[in-house]
Structure 1
Amino acid sequence: MTDDLLVASGLRKAYGERVAVHEVSFTLRRGEVLGLLGPNGAGKSTTVGMICGLTVPDAGTVTLAGGVSLGRDEAGYKRRIGLVPQDIALYEELPARTNVELFGALYGMPPERLKRRADEVLAMVGLTDRAGDKPSTFSGGMKRRLNIACALVHDPEVLLLDEPTAGIDPQSRNAIFDNLEMLKAAGKALVYTTHYMEEAERLADRITIVDHGRVVASGTQAQLFALLPAARTLHVEIAGEPDDAALAGLPGLSRVGQRLDVSVADIARDAGTVLAALAERGVAVRGLASARATLEDVFLQLTGRQLRD
């Protein structure tokens, strides 16, 4: 028995000689958010496209609990998946409610159930008062929230979100976060792609990082932080101007004026050692602070700092 709701195995997609996705695999459980991260062109959107059935993989499979896949009961598979695409996908001149009902009708929802469900999802994303208005009159954040309502109208078990907060204001972003956390608490499974590391840190239970179409790391945030040579940084304010010779031999140290940044694995264990080493060298310490590594530090360590335009 397994708790996995979705299993992606060995996904591959090439466009001519360019391999966009190569042997990408991961699992997703009920009530879990999986962050799918990677630089531009890493293969995130192509992977999402293969999971939702918009892109046909050259190799690999995606299977839902119960053995349902695109190759076996495609209609049943797609009824269990919801997609919030990277680009806004709405009928701009149709009222918001009509947009939601149109997407629900594509899944064959009975009219009465569809009406009730449209009310529910519009209320969830805070658009009840604008249900009769056209998306062409909406802000970017409202359009993003309406896209989420359209993806949820048929009550899918798995929700795929491809950069759902791109180009929106902080209020709309936080409203979307609240919606996603509520869906997670209700047992929905979410795949979330983003370029905003702080979003992944807030939302994701596990993270898969892809680069050049391959998985380069996967695990919980704690497991990813363990891949760094140092998990924290000591910021030491020093007095005077010690020469470089006095600071030689201290590993993981960089200096900016009268501040020393020292990379350490464990603050409680290593802070005393660093301070003792400075005292031995006659370096007077005026202040001490610490900062933990971030998911961005992990991301750059694994994918590099080269631009991906």
Structure 2
Amino acid sequence: MNGTALNAPSFRPTPQNSRFILFSARTNGACGRAVFIDATRLPQFLLAVDLRSHQGHSLVQGIEQLRATAAGLRAHQNIANAAQHMSTIAGFEVYYTLRQQGGENGPGVYITQIKSAQLQATQPGQFRLEGSQLRPDHAAFNRCEQACIVSASHLNAAVEKARKLAQPLAAVANAPSALFFIPTPLENLEGQWLTPQQKTTGRDALCAQLAQALEDAQSADRAHTYVHVANHADTWLQQALAQVTGPLNKLTLAFVDPSPRAGYTIQKLKSLGAKLSQEAITVSTDQAEMTLARLRAKLAKTIGELRRAQPARAVQSVGAHQASKTFLAAAQQANLLSRWTR
């Protein structure tokens, strides 16, 4: 990384018809897992990242550390394929498959995609919204007259939903409101992913936090607290209510885009004395937009796979085009000499 060539290591040989090459001199498997990158992704990677910058150095170092950290608690995991993971490194999303055995070049980490990260991970729980300010606040439900319980794949989406719901109720401009954020799997063009927050915060523990937030709202020195429950968060609320020890008669609730099982949650709330708003259940346009977004994502992913299929076959074929041979040879030479990891 300091501008001088790295010592030439002994590299694990890779089959000539494999499209995966070793990521750098440090990821040959001599220390930890071997880390490979799809050679067809290498030009995109080199164009997107200035390896002479601090971010470029951090990205390369982070990818090299996948030989020890791949598929850890800080990585996303594909719900449909437990071998596929995504790690956020230096502002980029690095997608890879972890092969404990097998693989084109043997066991190791196989990087299939690198692209700019859209969002930063955030821990779940209570937040306080006031004007444009957002900050964690474990007593937000006790302090604020209006609150939202929102499940979303990232905090930004939960905040946007909470602001939209709270705005019509605010008697005073920029009145503070509380948010209880529940992380859900991340969905993007690459698939549906279990987030690090879901890995590190168990459902039981998070439901216990939500139960405490409801009791805090009940014990507040005010007549009532208005609570919106949005985006299927009622499934979490139902489990949390089983841990509530006292009445919730000071709470008035409304459900926005609930799950089909919301009726069970409403019955439990009524048994605890909670009230329902005049519009107890509403379905917003967000729900339809989310469904369409999922369909668009699946379609785009399928189209992308079809477009990549032909170049991939050309690289893997023994009779590959001369252009593909030239590209692979150049990529392997760059990797061997470590010239792009300086």
TM-score (normalised: structure 1)? 0.29
TM-score (normalised: structure 2)? 0.27
- Where relative contact order (Cα < 8 A, 6+ residues apart) is larger, the structure is 1
